[in-house]
Amino acid sequence: MTFDYDLFVIGGGSGGVRAARIAASEGGARVALAEEYRMGGTCVIRGCVPKKLMVFAAGHGAAMDEARAYGWQLSVQGFDWRAFRARLDDELSRLEGIYTRNAENAGVEIHHQRATLIDPHTVALADGRQFTARHILIATGGTPFVPEAFEGQGVMTSNEVFLMEDLPRSILIIGGGFIACEFACVLQGLGVEVTQFYRGAQILRGFDDDLRHHVAAEMSAQGVALEVSTDLVSLERLPDGRFAAVDTGGGRREFDRVLFATGRTPNTQGLGLEEAGVVLSESGAVKVDDWSQTNIPSVFAVGDVTDRIQLTPVAIREGHAFADTVFGGKPTKADHALVASAVFTRPEAATVGLTEDEARELGRVKVFMTSFRAMQTAFAEGTSKAMFKLVVCAQSDRVLGCHIVAPGAAEMIQFAAIAVKMGATKADFDRTVAVHPTMAEEIVLMRNPAREH
């Protein structure tokens, strides 16, 4: 059978674009890609990149306060959201252009519209055109989830945060994961009065407990009104556009905006996947094997739409592995073990490997931990503390997990992740000479375990 393309990619985010580029440039494939919104996907347009730029913006307020303690004479007029947003929009457009040009330069034909699956080898574009492809890759990512009871009430998700015309005076954030905690810290740092509800006992479920408690304490100390074991019961839109929220304790409060950060769901609705025979999980994720292949041999999927690890670098690795396997003659499985991650709260939290509880399930562990005020903070009479933690196998001495809460934690964990991935032992850390004076030196200076069990 003759096909219009060797590969048709649905979704122009990080995973889809990487797969398309490698298949075309290195595999010599005829490739097309369809993106219904903007090239770059969640990470570039409404996720990692604009979020990190907002993190930078929010950090300057505290930095200026600290600067005064270091002798700087400053006069600050306040934060201009509209000026920042204009620069942000320009930067995202620049990055979108780069993503588009890089794909096109590699030989990828881009369709700037929605595509759906008709059958295992056919896709249909929104304008009615249909194309056949030997292989089809689903890379449509995820979408923010809002509980049905609160849909259509004018609440925001992470998609809309970057599109606000003005900063609100107050905001209620619902959720306790990455996105909720990051935006709570960002908006508080920009001068917004932030209240955060999380129905669980502690934020950042799935992370190490010491890290979770440390981040929660730091967020509260900075002014985020963090209320755990609390959920939203009802929401009323007031005549002035504000919101009246009632919580599980019966309290009623008013907020300018309400942001739901209650998780993301795989973006598979209305794509025609089930009609084409592709099996989905209960959550709507595309089920794939270790090679990112679905139950339909010609259909593959990578990235958040598979709900494996929802991180951009993971999607990129999966997309590259797919292209190498199918078009490069280099069978490659994406490695999902020991993937490091960071949460851009203030201070940042970063982790790689097992939590203490996870490690204990495998056997006896030694826990090395320290918490302290960094030199820069202490000089300015700040109260914020850094935390470093290593979880070590008591039998093999291998470092099973590393958890850091500190300014620059994301930068530190990248290098710690190399050591953990290589199977470094605590003795390897101990014989590494410290770089002084730094916060990071603490990772090689913890000699005595805080506990062993």
Report, as residue numbers or ranges, the catalytic residues.
436
Two tokens at 143? 């979408």
The answer to whether the Cα torsion of 425, 426, 427, 428 is positive or negative is positive
Closest CA to 437 of 383, 378, 374: 374
Please give the angle made by the CA atoms of 126, 128 and 129, to the nearest 5 degrees.
105
Q: Is 290 exposed, middle or buried (CB count within 10 Å of its CB: 0-12, 13-18, 19+)?
A: exposed
| 3-class SS of residue 190 | coil
CB 9 within 8 A of CB 30: no
Number of C-beta neighbours around residue 82 at 10 A: 10
Q: Are strands 243-247 and 252-255 parallel, antiparallel or unpaired?
A: antiparallel
Main-chain phi, psi angles of 119, to 5 degrees: -155, 180
| 3-class SS of residue 344 | coil
Q: What is the separation of C-alpha 378 from the centre of its chain, rounded to a whole number of angstroms? A: 31
Two tokens at 232? 């939203």
Q: What is the spatial distance between Cα 217 and Cα 352, in angstroms, rounded to a whole number?
A: 21
| 3-class SS of residue 165 | coil
For tokens 């089809």, what's the residue?
Answer: 136
CB 285 within 8 A of CB 305: yes
Number of C-beta neighbours around residue 128 at 10 A: 6
Buried b (16+ CB within 10 A) or exposed e, 170-190: bbbbbbbbbbbbbbbbbbbbb
Q: What is the spatial distance between Cα 336 and Cα 262, in angstroms, rounded to a whole number?
A: 24
Beta bridge partners of 63: none
Residue 414: CA atoms inside 13 Å, Cβ hemisphere, count?
A: 4
CA torsion angle for 431, 436, 437, 441 (degrees, to 10)?
Answer: -20
Main-chain phi, psi angles of 425, to 5 degrees: -100, 170
